[in-house]
Structure 1
Amino acid sequence: MAAPTSIMEILGCLTLLLFVLLVKSGYCIDCFKCISYNGANKACDDPFHNNYSTAILESPCMGGRKGRDGLFPATACIKIAGYYDDTGETITVRGCALDSGTLTTDTELIRMSHCGKFYYDNRYVHGCLQSCSDADACNTATSQRHPAKAEALMRHLLSFAVLLVAAAR
């Protein structure tokens, strides 16, 4: 019986170490960052062609967080595409953002993609905000993706480590 306990303790410690390394290094996603008003920046507009250029790829991508000063590692890439209601001019914005950690999806724009009318740069825009976090530079496509939760993965790893250590005792 001593051998399984030792193995479980080792696995628990290794999982906890992995969790600490992920948190310490700060999970961060790489995203394309650019803005195009009325087609002025063709490299940013759709159809999007990366051509493996790093000119508009930010690595690591950093973003602001509600109620906090400074920049933090991004957890999702975003793409805003639409047109201004008042002039009909088009806008495309690619960038990164991070989850603020609130419990409700409706206050976290990056947790799900949205389409409709919204206020951007002091003007009303009719379009979509799309978010993704399943891969670096995922804000290239026009299809909607649901974000994979890096923070949830870390919570699961921590829970798993605690359970393994507790079971070993």
Structure 2
Amino acid sequence: ERCGRAGVGRRAPWNTTPTVTTPTVLTLLLLVLTHTGCQGIDCFKCVSVNGDNPSCEDPFHNNFTVGLMESPCLAGRKGRGGLFPATACIKLAGIYDDTGQSITIRSCALDSGTLTTDTEIIRMSHCGSFYFQQKYVKGCLQSCDDYDGCNGSPPSREVSSTTLPSAIFLLLYFYKIL
């Protein structure tokens, strides 16, 4: 037969302190470090007709084209006024059918989430003939949304200035140092 009060030494379930495990802390830290925010993509913006802007032409070297990076890169949305943060970068390279002049355009674009032509052109790169500025062009339109400046050069990874302080705060908070 047991003696004493029932429940001595036990805590009521509503009066417990949550246990923070290492996997929980590491998961939260990973989320903080990989969070990129909700800002748009930055893209190179330039136009070259018949090679009149060599820094816009291929081969493209971003070392010499720092001034061509548009940040923030804003684009129009069909049927709406104003500009919005871009969701993709584009590069159009082709030849005007009537004059034979070459054209290279690097810019930003916006996926409006619709099935209209303005959105479809940035969802898939393609080559062929198309109508641009009241003229037919034979060439290719390439789109990308992988990283800032993807319409020009290989990626570079930047870390937000708030990432490290946020991660340190979370670690200190969860280990009850703060």
Mapped to 1, the partners of 2:127 and 2:19 lie a distance apart of 53
Residue 122 of structure 2 aligns to a residue in which SS? helix
Match of 2:148 in 1: 136
> Are the structure 2 counterparts of residues 70 and 6 from structure 1 closer, same or farther at C-alpha, using a change threshold of 3 Å?
farther
- Kindly indicate whether residue 28 of structure 2 is the aligned counterpart of residue 31 of structure 1: no
Q: Which runs of 4+ in 1 moved over 2 A?
A: 103-107
Q: How does 1:52-71 map to 2 (within 5 A)?
A: 53-71=65-83
The superposition leaves residues 138-160 of structure 1 with CA deviations (integer Å, 9 ceiling, x where unpaired) of 0015xxxxxxxxxxxxxxxxxxx
Using the TM superposition, give the Cα deviation of residue 42 of structure 1 relative to its aligned residue in structure 2, in angstroms. 0.1
Using the TM superposition, give the Cα deviation of residue 105 of structure 1 relative to its aligned residue in structure 2, in angstroms. 8.4
Mapped to 1, the partners of 2:51 and 2:112 lie a distance apart of 32
Calculate the TM-score normalised by the size of structure 1.
0.66
Q: Is the 8 A contact 1:100 1:108 kept in 2?
A: no
Using the TM superposition, give the Cα deviation of residue 121 of structure 1 relative to its aligned residue in structure 2, in angstroms. 1.2
Mapped to 2, the partners of 1:67 and 1:59 lie a distance apart of 24
> Are the structure 2 counterparts of residues 32 and 40 from structure 1 closer, same or farther at C-alpha, using a change threshold of 3 Å?
same
> Are the structure 2 counterparts of residues 37 and 110 from structure 1 closer, same or farther at C-alpha, using a change threshold of 3 Å?
same
Calculate the TM-score normalised by the size of structure 2.
0.63
Which structure is higher in RCO with an 8 Å CA cutoff and minimum separation 6? 1
Match of 1:114 in 2: 126
Mapped to 2, the partners of 1:88 and 1:54 lie a distance apart of 30
Q: How does 1:83-122 map to 2 (within 5 A)?
A: 83-103=95-115, 108-122=120-134
Residue 138 of structure 1 aligns to a residue in which SS? coil
Q: CA RMSD in A?
A: 3.2
Using the TM superposition, give the Cα deviation of residue 102 of structure 1 relative to its aligned residue in structure 2, in angstroms. 1.2
Using the TM superposition, give the Cα deviation of residue 98 of structure 1 relative to its aligned residue in structure 2, in angstroms. 0.6
Match of 1:43 in 2: 55
Mapped to 2, the partners of 1:62 and 1:125 lie a distance apart of 25
Aligned length: 130
Identity across the alignment (%): 64
> Are the structure 2 counterparts of residues 72 and 36 from structure 1 closer, same or farther at C-alpha, using a change threshold of 3 Å?
same
Q: Which runs of 5+ in 2 are unaligned?
A: 1-12, 21-27, 154-178
The superposition leaves residues 41-63 of structure 1 with CA deviations (integer Å, 9 ceiling, x where unpaired) of 00001111111642110011000
Mapped to 1, the partners of 2:62 and 2:117 lie a distance apart of 31
Using the TM superposition, give the Cα deviation of residue 71 of structure 1 relative to its aligned residue in structure 2, in angstroms. 0.3
The letter for the 1-side match of 2:132 is: Y
Mapped to 1, the partners of 2:42 and 2:151 lie a distance apart of 10
The letter for the 2-side match of 1:111 is: R
The letter for the 1-side match of 2:114 is: T
Q: Is the 8 A contact 1:27 1:75 kept in 2?
A: no
Decide which structure has the larger Cα Rg and report it: 2
Q: Which runs of 5+ in 1 are unaligned?
A: 8-13, 142-169
